[in-house]
A and B are shown apart, each in its own frame.
Chain A
Amino acid sequence: GNSVTQMEGPVTLSEEAFLTINCTYTATGYPSLFWYVQYPGEGLQLLLKATKADDKGSNKGFEATYRKETTSFHLEKGSVQVSDSAVYFCALMDGSARQLTFGSGTQLTVLP
């Protein structure tokens, strides 16, 4: 079956620090990959996506590259802000079942 593994949190960084959140996946097919973000008290917001190998998704300074050879989709940002504090979820969608498989989420706290 499909699965997504994220680095465990919580992660605490100072403002302007570099961020990496690791994500690896197992899929039976050829999935599309997503990063979602959840701010306190809210639902999930799509942050970025990639649909094929070597695709780079980017949004709001965040980037992730679809690496088929390492089955990874690590999230990076060069300089985090306090407003980036949230929970980040890596997810995959595979096949016609239209079912997202999520990682367990990584809590990020950015201190001023």
Chain B
Amino acid sequence: EAGVTQSPTHLIKTRGQQATLRCSPISGHTSVYWYQQALGLGLQFLLWYDEGEERNRGNFPPRFSGRQFPNYSSELNVNALELEDSALYLCASSSDRGRNSPLHFGNGTRLTVT
């Protein structure tokens, strides 16, 4: 069974540009989550999508946005990039919304903003 796949692996942008990160969940999983892992800040929750809808959002500015497609894949968009947006962005998926259903993570996209 293929795991969560993310693309690109690395992304280099300059301040003010936009970045688009992509995620394909495990087959059969309908929920997709995005997390940011920044140096010194740990793992922070960004967004949760389920069945095409945004279900929950972390404490991030509106320039962080995303969407989920009918095939359950997802995009994370970061507009007006700032230097502090440099981080590893992790996507995860789960099979349902149950409290016991664990999240399965991909290997992440390393975003560098110069």
Distance to closest chain B CB from A101 (angstroms): 8
Interface string of B42-76 (1 = CB under 8 A from A): 11010010100001101000000000000000000
- A49's partner among B55, B102, B108 (CB-CB below 8 A) is B102
Whether B102 contacts A105 by the Cβ 8 Å rule is: no
A46 touches B100 (CB 8 A): no
* CB nearest neighbor in B for A94: B99
Partner of A98, one of B6, B42, B48: B48
B15 within 8 A of A: no
Given contacts A43-B107, A44-B90, A45-B105, contact A32 B100 (CB under 8 A): yes
> In angstroms, how far is the closest chain B Cβ from the Cβ of A100?
6
| A99 B58 Cβ-Cβ under 8 A | yes
Q: Which residue of A lies closest to B55 (CB)?
A: A98
- Is B13's CB within 8 Å of the partner chain A? no
Chain A residues, Cβ within 8 Å of B106: 43
Q: Name the residue among A89, A95, A97, A103 with the largest chain B CB count within 10 angstroms.
A: A97
Closest Cβ neighbor of A103 among chain B residues: B42
Interface residues of A in 28-61 (CB under 8 A from B): 31-32, 34, 36, 41-46, 49, 51
The residue of chain A having its C-beta at the shortest distance from the C-beta of B99 within the complex is A32
> Is B107's CB under 8 angstroms from A42's CB?
yes
Interface residues of A (CB under 8 A from B): 31-32, 34, 36, 41-46, 49, 51, 89, 93-105
